[in-house]
Amino acid sequence: MRQLRYIFILSLSALIATAQEDIFDLLDEETESTQYTYATFKGTKLLNGQTNETPGKGVLQYIISHRFGSFTDEYLYNFFGLDNAHIRMQLDYGFTDRLNVGIGRSSVLKTSDAFVKYRALRQKTGANAFPFSITLYSAFNYRGARYTDGIDHYMSDRLSYHHQAVFARKFNENLSLVLAPSIVHWNLVPGPEDPNDTYHLFIGGRYKLNNRIALTSEYAFSSNHSYGSGATEERFHNPLSVGVDIETGGHVFQFHLSNTRAMSDPLWMAQNPYSAANGSLFLGFNISRVFTVKQ
Partner 1 sequence: MKNIILTALLLSSTFVSAQQYLTREARLDFDAGSPLEDIEAFTESGSAVYDANTGKIGVQVLMTSFQFKRALMQEHFNENYVESEKYPKASFKGTYNEGSVAGGLTIHGITKEITVPARLDQEEGNYVLVTSFDITLADYEVKIPSAVANKISKTASIQVQATLKNTSR
Residues engaged in binding partner 1 (CB under 8 A): 3, 6, 10, 13-14, 17, 20-21, 23-24, 26-28, 30-31, 33, 35, 38-39, 55-57, 59, 94, 97, 172-173, 211-212, 248-250, 290, 292, 295
Q: How far is the CB of 122 from partner 1 (least distance, A)?
A: 13
Q: Which is nearer to partner 1, 156 or 248 (CB)?
A: 248
Question: Rounded to the nearest whole angstrom, what is the least distance from the CB of residue 29 to partner 1 in the complex?
Answer: 9
Minimum gap (Å) between residue 1 Cβ and partner 1: 13
Of the candidates 227, 228, 244, 248, which has an alpha carbon nearest to the alpha carbon of residue 236?
Answer: 227
Judged by beta carbon, residue 37 or residue 182, the one nearer partner 1 is: 37
Q: Based on CB atoms, which residue is closest to partner 1, 60 or 136?
A: 60
CB contact burial 211-234 (16+ within 10 A = b; e otherwise): eeebebbbebebebeebeeeeeee
Nearer to partner 1, 158 or 170 (CB): 170
Q: How far apart, in whole angstroms, are the C-alpha atoms of residue 7 and residue 9?
A: 6
- CB of 278 closer than 8 Å to CB of 72: yes
Of residues 228, 208, 209, the one with CA closest to residue 271: 228
Q: For residues 43 and 81, which CB has a smaller minimum distance to partner 1 in the complex? A: 43
Least Å distance between CB 45 and partner 1?
Answer: 16
Q: How far is the CB of 261 from partner 1 (least distance, A)?
A: 30
- Closer CB to partner 1, residue 230 or residue 249? 249
Contacts of 261 (CB under 8 A, 6+ apart): 67, 70, 86, 108, 268, 272, 274, 282, 284
Q: 244 near 212, Cβ under 8 Å?
A: no
Using the minimum distance from each CB to partner 1, give the nearer residue, 50 or 258: 50
**Residues 169, 183, 56, 127, Cα dihedral to 10°:** -40
Give the DSSP letter string of 45-68: BSSSSB-S----TTEEEEEEEEEE
Instruction: Say how many Å lie between the first and final Cα of the chain, rounded.
Output: 74
DSSP 147: P
Find the shortest distance in angstroms from Cβ 268 to partner 1: 27
As a whole number of angstroms, the distance between CA 138 and CA 165 comes to 9
Q: From the CB of 263, what's the least distance to partner 1, in Å? A: 24
H-helix segments, 21-159: 25-28
User: Which residue number, 148 or 211, has a Cβ lying nearer to partner 1?
Assistant: 211
Rounded to a whole number of angstroms, the minimum distance from the CB of residue 52 to partner 1 is 14
